[in-house]
Amino acid sequence: MKFLEKIVDKLEPNFEKGGKYEKWYPLFDGFATFLFTPKHTTKKGVHIRDAVDLKRTMNTVITAMIPCLLFGIWNTGYQHYSALGLTEEFGFLDQVFFGALKVLPVVIVSYVVGLGVEFGFCIAKGHPIEEGFLVSGMLIPLIVPADTPLWMVAVATIFSVVFVKEVFGGTGMNILNPALTARAFLFFAYPKQLSGDKAWVNTELPEGYSYAENGKYVLNEIGQRVGEVDAIAGATQLSRFKASVDVMKNTKDELGEAVGAAAQSFEAGVVKLSEKFDLWEAFVGIVPGSIGETSVIAILIGAGLLLHTGVGSLKIMLSGIFGAVFMTIIFNTAGVNPYMTVGPLEHLFAGGFMFGLVFMATDPVSAAQTEVGKVIYGFFIGLFCIMIRVFNPAYPEGMMLAILFMNVMAPLIDHYVIQGNIKQRLNRLKLNTANH
């Protein structure tokens, strides 16, 4: 690599102060430090430094997300063909190919647009290119539906980089998790396209195939009936949970307010609840959902890497699960509507709970920063997630809002934890003065 080193050394004077391309230094620096750990040596303070740096930390997080990405690519294809009943016609490789065609453009758009905005800010403000977006750029594709129009991904990415990160001062200064805010932006700006049962699974027919008999079956090129369309495949588990409550309401309206009928409608809701919900499928992840959030197995592999390297906080993850289970048990005990009877495991495996907890709640910048604070922060994320899921009629998934809410609350939690430390010190001083 000597020749590359020479090139970097040769180019550097052009970009330094007084050089021809002085303004572009952040860009040059970004690329040079991507290729090489720079040759800067310690000047003041410690003479030796730990080998870890922010690039390596962020790289670890991206590595941890790779299982989710790969599984998401396959699952996108699988859900597509499975909804059309064509899994026999189109095997594993076709499914991966279809998924890659859908997912990779989203990843590329997210990175290109996000890094472009980032570079622009770095050059304008003259600060070095920071690594934060490398993680956000991967998180954004993993938490949107595969069919999200690319321009929406681009708009959401620009929004989150500019208004969530750069206006606060860049990496390390943001209050909210940028990737999650991009998702929230999409949700609130384009609710029609990106929620409901139609958003999650692509049901465009492959070339040459056509629908037959009111869209119930799929015909191949020569008119043979090859697949049966799965009418409810597009619904996520969470929307099914939600539907159970609607079923109860509807039955109630039809039957009036007779006591026995109410019990019957509750039963109907519970039946609706168990319809097509398979805990094992949810654990493996062969269910509709955002690209990277479905597979608990893939998420746990990532969580293992984050915990082993110490990059993700075990305190947040465990207390988050504890908070969710705690809330679920309370709901189970109350059991007023069918949704409240959904068990803890179903809640943990459904939707984006695990993905959010492992990859987004643990973002060190927007999470609580004190160790005690992390426990409280994680607990309330779990608790609020379940509460929003069950009580909020507008949106089936509570994880996004729970994390964003706790992002905002995190500095407050830290404030009180730190005040505790300060008070302890004041008390010690008072005690000491009293003794003398």
Partner 1 sequence: MSVQIKLRKGADIKLQGVASRTKVDAPASDVIALKPSDFHGVIPKLMLREGAKVKAGTPIFFDKENDKIKFSSPVSGEIVEIVRGARRVILEIKIKVDKTEAFEDFGATDVAETSVEDLKAKLLEAGLWPFIKQRPFNCIANPDDLPKAVFVSAFDTSPLAPDYDFLLEGREEDFQLGIDALAKFSKNGYVNLNISVDKELRFNAEDKFSYTDDAGKNIEIDYKTASNISASHGAAKALASLKEKYGKASDLFTKANNVSLGEISGKHPAGNVGIQIHHINPVNKGEVVWTVNAQDVAMIGEFLRTGRYIAKKVIALTGSEVSNPQYYNVTLGQNLEGILEGNLKESEESPRFISGNPLTGTKVEKDGFLGTYDSQVTVLPEGNNYDFFGWAVPIQPNKFSLSRTLWSWLMPSKAYRLNTNMNGEQRAFVVTGEYEKVLPMTIYPVQLLKSCLVEDIDAMEGLGIYEVVPEDLALCEFACTSKQPVQEILQNGLDLVKKECA
Identified binder of partner 1 from the candidate list 11, 14, 55, 158, rule CB under 8 A: 55
CB of 139 to partner 1, least distance (A): 15
Tell me how far the alpha carbon of residue 93 is from its chain's centroid: 26
Q: In degrees, to the nearest 5, what angle opens at C-alpha 329 toward C-alphas 326 and 331?
A: 110
Task: Give whichever of 119 and 277 is closer to partner 1, judged by the CB atom.
Answer: 119
Q: Check binding of 412 to partner 1 (CB under 8 A).
A: no
> What is the dihedral angle through the alpha carbons of 352, 357, 359, 361, rounded to the nearest 10 degrees?
120
Task: Give whichever of 91 and 172 is closer to partner 1, judged by the CB atom.
Answer: 172
Q: Which residues does 38 contact at the CB level (< 8 Å), separation at least 6?
A: 32
Q: Which residues does 197 contact at the CB level (< 8 Å), separation at least 6?
A: 232, 234, 235, 236, 239
Region near partner 1 per CB under 8 A, out of 98-106, 127-135, 294-302, 385-393: 127-135
Q: Check binding of 99 to partner 1 (CB under 8 A).
A: no
**Under rule CB under 8 A, which residues in 326-365 are in contact with partner 1?**
364-365
Q: Check binding of 8 to partner 1 (CB under 8 A).
A: yes
Identified binder of partner 1 from the candidate list 44, 223, 257, 394, rule CB under 8 A: 44
What is the Cα gyration radius of the chain?
25
Q: In degrees, to the nearest 5, what angle opens at C-alpha 68 toward C-alphas 66 and 70?
A: 70
Q: Check binding of 308 to partner 1 (CB under 8 A).
A: yes
CB of 178 to partner 1, least distance (A): 13
Identified binder of partner 1 from the candidate list 93, 124, 173, 408, rule CB under 8 A: 173
Q: Check binding of 160 to partner 1 (CB under 8 A).
A: no
Q: Check binding of 51 to partner 1 (CB under 8 A).
A: yes
Structure tokens belonging to residue 27: 């860009």
Task: Give whichever of 54 and 330 is closer to partner 1, judged by the CB atom.
Answer: 54
Q: Check binding of 170 to partner 1 (CB under 8 A).
A: yes
Region near partner 1 per CB under 8 A, out of 10-18, 138-146, 153-161, 366-374: 366-374
Q: Check binding of 126 to partner 1 (CB under 8 A).
A: no
Q: Check binding of 435 to partner 1 (CB under 8 A).
A: no
Identified binder of partner 1 from the candidate list 70, 212, 261, 418, rule CB under 8 A: 418
Q: Check binding of 411 to partner 1 (CB under 8 A).
A: no
CB of 336 to partner 1, least distance (A): 40
Contact 135, 115 (CB under 8 A): no
Count of residues making up the chain: 436
What is the rounded distance in angstroms from the CA atom of residue 360 to the CA atom of residue 83?
Answer: 30
Give pairs for 335-339: CB < 8 Å, separation 24+: 337/244, 337/245, 337/248, 337/266, 337/269, 338/244, 338/245, 338/247, 338/248, 338/266, 338/269, 338/270, 338/272, 338/273, 339/241, 339/242, 339/244, 339/245, 339/269, 339/273, 339/389, 339/390
What is the rounded distance in angstroms from the CA atom of residue 233 to the CA atom of residue 85?
Answer: 10
Q: Check binding of 40 to partner 1 (CB under 8 A).
A: yes
CB of 368 to partner 1, least distance (A): 8
Task: Give whichever of 8 and 348 is closer to partner 1, judged by the CB atom.
Answer: 8
Task: Give whichever of 35 and 93 is closer to partner 1, judged by the CB atom.
Answer: 35
- Give me the sign of the Cα torsion angle 80, 81, 82, 85: positive
3-state secondary structure of 212: strand
Residue numbers at the binding site for partner 1 (CB under 8 A): 1, 4-5, 8, 33, 35-42, 44-57, 59-60, 128, 130-132, 169-173, 308-311, 313, 364-365, 367, 369-371, 374, 418, 421-422, 424-426, 428-429, 432
